[in-house]
């Protein structure tokens, strides 16, 4: 019989825990939540201080019974579900179900990484589960609010619209996408005729410039554009302004859940389901730290390892004099975990990963290393050409030093050569162009831009971004069109009902 019982969430982690801890530990998994709010009536007594009615999930009763049997026999019990509010609730509700004898053997433990040192550190720093009372109450408050909002509005929403459900977070997410669809539907394009010119300087270098004054949108017909072109062909064009400066490009912070999902969508074409499944597998196999986080902080040892890797594998000018630290821009961030990073920065190409996991790991590894590297440097040039009352402009840049971009290849850099000019210099007109254009409606949200909006607006949490999109798709309120999200006719109908009745 094992002396110690460790209870975790995911059965995928059992092999790793067992390998690191040995025969004195029995590892069992809850396979997610074991308890839930009762679905009888509301599951919450609104007249009795919002007392919740928590019951065991029917399909999980066998798991609960097995855990309870092992808990009776164990000398020590470590409730080691994830350290976020969901994990806290899983452990706390299991603890509440135990008898007093078993409760006295329980300790709460957490780890940010499935490694030998991470697990052992978590056990060594185990604490009373009652120390997480505020976190547990936060979980209950959210679940009760979800239940009240969902149960109170879902039935009447279904009766009025045919929609299947409404909810505190999903309805807010739907409103964001539906309002963008309304903007697109109501959009009236504006016709304009921008003028573009090709010129050569005294060194015979060709530059393309776009009209700045009058503003392109103010050139509303072809006749106005042709008038500008006629003037260009009959009078001199001179350089009226030239600016050149060296700019620094700072590295991005390490990944949070939100920024990982955004980068995976824009750089890898991976939707929220794919990247979060890959990240879950990488975490469970001990390759990365916890993947549901809103923090950009890396622990000191992690930073030291990253900087050691940089100094050992890259030339000295890629290292910074001291460690770089980042602050989250999200005022509602809880920062309960580290940023997402590899657990072993020297493990550049882990074996045994599938295609999605390899892509996700490389993205995370590159972002993590780059976050401690020196700035990239660029020479930015801008020029203006004047002809009568018209002004044309062009810009360009040249990379002087790649810095952090040497490692992080996922960030686009728009290098476009622009030669130097002297103010007052006369240039030669080579060609002119104009064409009819129309202003375009706002873009539909991509998964990346939608998740960014949710984060900036305080809608949802790192653990729920993926499920918000999935729920809206499953309800047929929105559709995925490649990487964009659009509201369906049903989704628009549901949103109109919810907004007009002040439910959202």
Catalytic machinery residues: 290
d(CA 220, CA 223): 9
Phi and psi angles of residue 52, each rounded to the nearest 5 degrees, phi first: -90, 150
Q: DSSP labels for 234-292?
A: HS-EEEEEEEEEEEEEPPPPPB-HHHHHHHIIIII---HHHHHHHHHHHHHTTSBB-SS
Tokens of 153: 């509005």
Widest Cα–Cα separation across the chain: 97
Residues in the chain: 504
Which neighbouring-strand residues pair with 340?
255
DSSP state of 316: G
The conformational region for residue 96 under phi > 0 = left, psi -120 to 50 = alpha, else beta, is: alpha
Rounded to 10 degrees, what is the CA torsion of 299, 305, 306, 307? 110
d(CA 22, CA 151): 47
The strand pair at 25-29 and 4-8 is best described as parallel
| 194 touches 216 (CB < 8 A) | yes
Q: Nearest-CA neighbor of 170 among 195, 146, 136? A: 146
Question: Using N-to-C axis directions, what is the helix angle for 85-97 and 61-73, rounded to 10°?
Answer: 70
Q: DSSP labels for 401-468?
A: E-GGGGT-TTS----B------TT-EEEEEEEEE--EE--PPPPPBHHHHHHHHHHHT-S-TTTHHHH
User: Long-range CB contacts (< 8 A, 24+ apart) of 320-326?
Assistant: 320/372, 320/373, 320/374, 323/372, 324/251, 324/371, 324/372, 325/297, 326/253, 326/254, 326/296, 326/297, 326/371
Q: Nearest-CA neighbor of 111 among 85, 139, 80? A: 80
């Amino acid at each position: 019989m094992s002396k110690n019982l460790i209870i975790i969430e995911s059965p995928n982690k059992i092999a790793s825990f067992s390998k690191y801890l040995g025969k004195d530990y029995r590892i069992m998994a809850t396979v997610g939540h074991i308890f839930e709010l009762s679905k009888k009536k509301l599951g919450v007594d609104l007249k009795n201080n919002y007392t919740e009615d928590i019951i065991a999930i029917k399909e999980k009763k066998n798991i609960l019974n097995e855990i309870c049997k092992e808990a009776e026999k164990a000398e020590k019990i470590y409730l080691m579900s994830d350290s976020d509010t969901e994990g806290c609730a899983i452990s706390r509700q299991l603890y509440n179900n135990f008898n007093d004898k078993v409760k006295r053997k329980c300790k709460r433990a957490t780890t940010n990484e499935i490694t030998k040192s991470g697990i052992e550190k978590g056990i060594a720093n185990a604490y009373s589960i009652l120390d997480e009372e505020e976190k547990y109450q936060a979980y209950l408050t959210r679940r009760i609010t979800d239940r009240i909002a969902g149960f109170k509005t879902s039935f009447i929403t279904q009766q009025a619209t045919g929609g299947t459900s409404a909810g505190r977070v999903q309805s807010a997410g739907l409103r964001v996408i539906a309002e963008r669809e309304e903007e697109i539907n109501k959009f009236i394009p504006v016709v304009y005729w921008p003028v573009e010119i090709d010129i050569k300087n005294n060194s015979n270098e060709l530059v393309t410039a776009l009209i700045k004054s009058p503003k392109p949108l103010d050139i509303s017909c072809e006749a106005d554009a042709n008038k500008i072109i006629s003037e260009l062909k009959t009078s001199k064009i001179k350089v009226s302004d030239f600016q050149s400066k060296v700019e620094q490009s700072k590295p991005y912070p390490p990944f949070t859940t939100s920024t990982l999902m955004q980068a995976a969508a824009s750089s890898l074409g991976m939707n929220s389901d794919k990247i979060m499944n890959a990240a879950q597998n990488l975490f469970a196999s001990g390759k990365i730290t916890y993947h549901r986080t809103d923090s950009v902080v890396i622990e000191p040892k992690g930073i030291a390892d990253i900087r050691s890797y940089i100094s050992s594998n890259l030339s000295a000018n890629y290292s910074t004099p001291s460690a770089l630290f980042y602050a989250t821009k999200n005022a509602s961030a809880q920062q309960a975990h580290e940023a997402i990073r590899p657990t072993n920065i020297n493990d550049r190409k882990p074996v045994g990963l599938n295609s999605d996991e390899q892509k996700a790991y490389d993205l995370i590894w590159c972002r993590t290393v780059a976050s401690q590297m020196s700035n990239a440097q660029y020479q930015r040039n801008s020029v203006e050409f004047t002809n009568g009352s018209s002004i044309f402009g062009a810009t360009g840049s040249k990379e002087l030093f790649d810095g952090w971009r040497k490692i992080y290849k996922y960030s686009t850099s728009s290098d476009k050569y622009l030669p130097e000019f002297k103010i007052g210099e006369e240039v030669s007109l080579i060609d002119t162009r104009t064409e009819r254009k129309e202003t375009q409606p706002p873009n539909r949200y991509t998964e990346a831009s939608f998740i960014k909006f949710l984060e900036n607006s305080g809608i949802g949490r790192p653990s729920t971004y993926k499920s918000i999109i999935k729920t809206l798709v499953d309800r047929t309120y929105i559709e995925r069109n490649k990487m964009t999200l659009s509201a369906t006719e049903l989704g628009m109908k549901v949103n109109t009902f919810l907004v007009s009745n002040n439910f959202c």
